[in-house]
Structure 1
């Protein structure tokens, strides 16, 4: 066989790009999402894509998607923020209580976002300035915020209906929830920031190898501070949106949300043990896979405990595939 024959047998550049995309983390989870859709159509039937069902799935995944996209910046920077679920609940409680007390909703929304920023700065100060372990710090913040929510809301929370916010959280365009469209838009913007901007490259570099990033002149401490603030602010915004959806905020809202989000992000190609790995598009696909499986089981009246088993299996499979692919190596 001549060298020319060998060259002729190589895949064309376009075909190579397709193969590389499928082998990558986003491509892998994209195929898993496609498989979930096929199973849904085969098992549930055309009702799986009915507008009412799309509305149910879209509303359920929209707020976690927005929170996950914002939290993924901290994850890319090499910090796991376990306090996001409690920050969602705490932000919702603050927003709901102050609006119910008669304050202007827009002013209260600003206050809630500022509270989220303060929480993110507090996490960053302890982690970046004093070198504390991120998991321990954010776990402590999780407990603190959950306790504050319990203290603020002792009995049943007051109901609040904010019409403009309700219209956004419950509205739909061509059968697709407005909030899901907003979440997808946020995801696309975040993906562009991560892959196309200097800030995104700095975040990935800091998460992948902070010492090398420091030697390259990247302000590692500043990048991690910003990433943690973005994570907490995203959670605070998620709390506001939940009040718009639910009309109130209980003191257990957001409990366990951090595990749901990080499981979906890991399924979508992120690494919990190493920063600099992942893309918001993969996180979107991961959340849609989990939401699709949940919907299939609910429609078929399966015991919800099966969902945990299936998500755990998918998560383990994603981790193994990522290890075989060498996805935990930052480039």
Structure 2
């Protein structure tokens, strides 16, 4: 199974070539309510592991000088990948001027080894959805023994020693972590964190559980509850720049498997021939559409069936 997907024009990180460190199945220490992957039991280690050599060989065939970032992610939590230290070293040997980025839920920062190896990356995005233990457990549904107080402490410590670009992401879920009380606690913590940018987001893709996101107006109002000194940014896809690249049938299916796309995303990403290929895949019922929050997403038919079975 392919580990490389994209490139995708990320709303926040530019042209991103993704590396999925768990392409075969979801392996995560969280089971977040808002996750776009189907619900699954949490874990603290990977049982299905891709070899570093496989990833690097695939990366070499896709990497070019128009890629802004090589993004380490996963069907789950990328820092659970047991060879992450070696992989980062191998990527750094071939990446040239391209930046490295990891998207992590922050939980494994309590591990000294993970803490140290993330320092070798050019960019790190840490998620921090809640501070109150009860809210944290409700929204992120963590693996046993994961405590938010310890995560917060390590996020603060990491931000003070990390030399690259540090991003903090808060994903708001309606009537869970969007209260004034919770935002006040988030604000208090973030004032102690040295972040390049703090992204306020919400559910904009079909979630694993029946929860809803905030409107742009609600996100805007929430942003004003944070201290004005904080680098708050309301994450929004409308700022994406066109890419219009060629995608094969396999590329389209692989990309949609990793990330559901709207028609707006398709217009930004695909060239005209690729759009025709997408239409053919839809006619073959390999790709279907699903509506959420007034937006229509293109997803794999196989993924929709998998969610129904959960």
Q: Structure 2 length normalisation: TM-score?
A: 0.24
More strand as a share of residues: 2
Question: Which structure is higher in RCO with an 8 Å CA cutoff and minimum separation 6?
Answer: 1
Question: Between Structure 1 and Structure 2, which shows a larger proportion of helix residues?
Answer: 1
Task: Provide the TM-score with structure 1 as the length reference.
Answer: 0.23
Larger Cα Rg: Structure 1 or Structure 2? 1
